[in-house]
């Protein structure tokens, strides 16, 4: 009996450990025991295994009470010296990165802040000199890397902790923790050492590889046509994507002709996007991925990280339900009602209306008030576009394949084998 009890306790602990790993819901695996945290955001602590991100521990990082964590930054642990203050609160610096000082714990007024800034910059110069000495001596050192001109770059943004460039100009920019940061070009060009003077391998170090996958382009559409992945034998899947009749009922015969070809099968109205939180949405898309075909992407899911327009930094997880012959390479055409019919019009037949009144053929509506023109069943996805999506116009993005969330599979009925 004691053995059975012990086994039950071990199983329960293992189940709890798995349940406590937040990253699986975001499409990333859990880290193995002992993996070191290299990055922290509002979701929790992240490590790197086999050249990809993995989640460490529970659903939030250990200092959940710190206001800065909602912005993707850690709490200050050992400093109460204010370096700068913005509308969010007081900011300090630890280990060469920004941290949030819990409200009521900062010690300096604005005048002292300026003095501390100057002192920090002087100390930073000393740290940089020490770091150079450590590098030249191949010693591990314990002085964090600090750019010689302080904690912010020439454009006034914090330095990036990694070397992935998302925007080029006179200054190179990156995007970390939902904020713009400046690439330290001198540091990122250094061939052999990290910020602590340790020898690094640029092929495996996470700061020097793109963990976000490929880059591409997005557009938008809603044509009401039967999705391409709703036909039989497109890919190795559990079943084709659901299609619906004019009454919204699922069609059980996969070879039913599309409403865009005079048939009775249409896109189901529940295949429209919705917000999970301020930074993440779920949805569906047509896709064209370089070097792949429908057999590769039908019913596969991809995490999209937008890299341009006002929604840069926001993410979507989309399931591919359709293929666009008119799409370019690495192109996702996100399904959103009122986003434009595009090449085909199945909506006029599905809803017995004149869908040519639904905005521009390519692009759709231009204002959120126009969503009321649509049938009520399509209005939530249209309102999402002018809300969470901020009416972004064809934003660029990075994308990578992830495990499909159960919510998306429940809507389409389709998953990869």
Active-site residues, by number, are 223
The tokens for 146 are 């600090």
Any idea how long the chain is? 417
Specify whether the CB–CB gap between 90 and 106 falls below 8 A.
Answer: yes
> What is the greatest pairwise CA distance in the chain?
77
Which among 10, 365, 416 is positioned nearest to 237, based on CA atoms? 416
Which among 201, 197, 200 is positioned nearest to 135, based on CA atoms? 197
Going 66 to 68 to 72 to 74, the CA torsion angle's sign is negative
Which among 376, 374, 393 is positioned nearest to 385, based on CA atoms? 393
For 397, counting Cβ atoms within 10 Å of its Cβ (0-12 exposed, 13-18 middle, 19+ buried), the class is buried
1: Cβ contacts below 8 Å, ≥ 6 apart: none
Look up residue 247 and give its DSSP letter. T
Specify whether the CB–CB gap between 28 and 53 falls below 8 A.
Answer: yes
Query: Within 13 A of 18's CA, how many CA atoms are on the CB side?
Result: 5
For 169, counting Cβ atoms within 10 Å of its Cβ (0-12 exposed, 13-18 middle, 19+ buried), the class is exposed
Specify whether the CB–CB gap between 348 and 355 falls below 8 A.
Answer: yes
């Amino acid at each position: 009996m004691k053995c059975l009890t012990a086994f039950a306790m071990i199983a329960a602990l293992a189940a709890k450990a798995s349940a406590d790993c937040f990253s699986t819901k975001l499409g990333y695996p859990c880290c193995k025991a002992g993996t070191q945290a290299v990055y922290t955001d509002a979701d929790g602590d992240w490590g790197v295994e086999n050249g990809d991100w993995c989640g460490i521990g529970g659903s939030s990082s250990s200092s959940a009470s710190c206001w800065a964590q909602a912005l993707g930054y850690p709490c200050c642990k050992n400093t109460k010296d204010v370096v700068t203050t913005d509308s969010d609160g007081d900011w300090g610096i630890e280990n060469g990165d920004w941290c949030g000082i819990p409200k009521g714990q900062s010690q300096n007024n604005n005048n002292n802040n300026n003095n501390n800034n100057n002192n920090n910059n002087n100390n930073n110069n000393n740290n940089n000199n020490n770091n150079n000495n450590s590098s030249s001596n191949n010693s591990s050192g314990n002085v964090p890397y600090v750019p010689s001109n302080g904690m912010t770059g020439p454009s006034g943004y914090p330095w990036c902790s990694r070397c992935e460039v998302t925007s080029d100009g006179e200054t190179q920019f990156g995007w970390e923790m939902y904020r713009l940061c400046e690439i330290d070009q001198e540091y990122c060009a250094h061939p052999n050492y990290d910020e602590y003077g340790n020898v690094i391998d640029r092929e495996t170090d996470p700061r020097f590889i793109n963990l976000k996958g490929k880059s591409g382009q997005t557009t938008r559409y809603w044509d009401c046509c039967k999705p391409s992945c709703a036909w039989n034998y497109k890919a190795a899947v559990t079943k084709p994507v659901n299609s619906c009749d004019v009454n919204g009922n699922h069609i059980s015969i996969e070879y039913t002709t599309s409403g865009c070809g005079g048939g009775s099968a249409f896109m189901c109205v529940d295949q429209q996007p919705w917000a999970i939180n301020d930074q993440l949405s779920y949805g569906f898309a047509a896709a064209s991925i370089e070097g792949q075909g429908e057999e590769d992407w039908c019913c596969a899911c991809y995490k999209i990280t937008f890299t341009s327009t006002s929604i840069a930094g926001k993410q979507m997880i989309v399931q591919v339900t359709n293929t666009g012959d008119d799409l370019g390479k690495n192109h996702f055409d996100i399904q959103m009602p009122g986003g434009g019919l595009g090449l085909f019009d199945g909506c006029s037949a599905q809803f017995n209306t004149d869908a040519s009144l639904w905005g521009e053929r390519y692009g759709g509506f231009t204002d959120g008030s126009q969503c009321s023109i649509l049938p009520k069943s399509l209005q939530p996805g249209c309102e999402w576009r002018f809300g969470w999506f901020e009416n972004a116009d064809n934003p660029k993005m990075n994308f990578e394949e992830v495990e499909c969330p159960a919510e998306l599979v429940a809507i389409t009925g389709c998953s990869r084998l």
